[in-house]
Structures are given as structure tokens and as C-alpha cells.
Amino acid sequence: MKRIQTDDLGAWARRHSSAYARIGDDIADGARRSIPAMLRAAIAEAPKHTGALRRSLSIRDRRVGDKVELAIHSDDPAAGMQQDGGLLRGRPLMSVPIGVERRYWDSTGTRREARDIPGLFEIRARDGRRFLATRVGRQLVLRFARRRYVRQDGQGWATRAVEAAGPDLTSSVRASIVRSMLATDRIAP
């Protein structure tokens, strides 16, 4: 028995019967019905610290011949970096939260910008590293490290989202095909 790939079902249907000619459209409809599940999975897997990224997520669908392509899309420039990783460069320096600010970011998912914190000033360590700090009484509290670049590891969130949505996509497409075949009266229910 030869296995039929999803991409080839439309062509297979047209070759075998005019009654099955709409099966390619039914596959596309089934794939489109799974878009909400795929979007929910993408939002669930997206990094928690990037609310802007989560809000910018959408699913784009495109039909090319007999193929239906679904893609997770984001207008946020950080989306690709969060997925695959890479080198972030400051202009000329970037402020990376450390200490108190990092714990606040981790616990609330909200990052405060350095410019929004009153009383922040820059200090330079003996080894040349730069920090942004505030004074609390007589103590210095380091809040941000100043860096020229930061290497970020990719988190693979979009890949995990596609894997999580896979079963919904498969069942939705399968249900559409079965409905189409039952409608042609070629298969007994």
C-alpha cells in the first residue's frame, strides 16, 4: 500500500475521480480551521518577557498549488532572535538588567527601562566594565550592566509551538477529508 502525503492528496484526487476534485480545497479548509489552535500554541510557547512579541503573533496561511502553508508570523524584530538566537549589539552600549532589576523582570515579566528609574548613574569598575546603579542610603545597588553586545541563545519557541499544534492540524485536516468523502457518497458512513 502506497502512502499518500498530504501535499499530494489534491493531485491524487483529481487523477482518480472528479467527485474528489474538491478535496484539495477541503484540506486547505481543514488546515485553516486549525489556525486558532496554532496561534494559542504560539502564544503559550513565546517567551514570557516579551509581551510585545506575544501581541504581534499571527498565523499566515498561503496556498501554493496543492500545498497549504501555515506560518507563525510576527512583526516584532526580536522574534527571530528569540527563536534562533544570535548577537545583540548596543548602539553604542545596551543596558542589561542584573541583580534587583533582573529579579523584578523574572517575577513580573515586566522590564523597566533604565531611563525610567530616577537617580540612576553610571559607574566604572577597575577592570573597565560599566554599570548603572542607584544609591540606597550608603549602599550602591547595581541595576544594569552596560554591554557592547550580548549573545542570546535561541529558545526555539516557534518550533515547539508548531509541534504542539501538529495533532490539532492533523485531526482537522483528516475530519475535512472524511466529510468530503462522505459527501460524495463513495464511502458508507
Q: What is the pLDDT of residue 185?
A: 55
Find where cell 480551521 sits.
33
Query: Structure pTM?
Result: 0.58
Tell whether 65 and 103 lie within a shared domain: no
The rounded distance, in Å, linking the Cα atoms of 159 and 108 is: 25
Residue 184: strand, helix, or coil? coil
Q: Which domain covers residue 135, as residue numbers?
A: 85-153
Cell representation of residue 177: 477529508
* Per-residue pLDDT tens listing for the chain (189 residues): 334 444 555 565 555 555 555 666 777 777 777 888 888 888 888 877 667 788 888 888 777 766 777 788 888 877 888 888 888 888 898 888 888 777 777 667 677 778 888 889 999 999 999 999 999 889 988 888 999 988 888 888 888 888 888 888 788 877 877 777 676 655 544
Q: How many domains does the chain have?
A: 2
Residue 189 covered by a domain: no
Question: Pick from 28, 65, 60: which is nearest to 176 by CA?
Answer: 28
Residue 114 covered by a domain: yes
Q: What are phi and psi of 48, to 5 degrees?
A: -70, -30
Tell whether 73 and 34 lie within a shared domain: yes
Tell whether 38 and 93 lie within a shared domain: no
Tell whether 71 and 161 lie within a shared domain: yes
Residue 25: strand, helix, or coil? helix
Q: What is the pLDDT of residue 5?
A: 46
Measured from the Cβ of residue 70, the count of other Cβ atoms closer than 10 Å reads 17
Tell whether 22 and 56 lie within a shared domain: yes
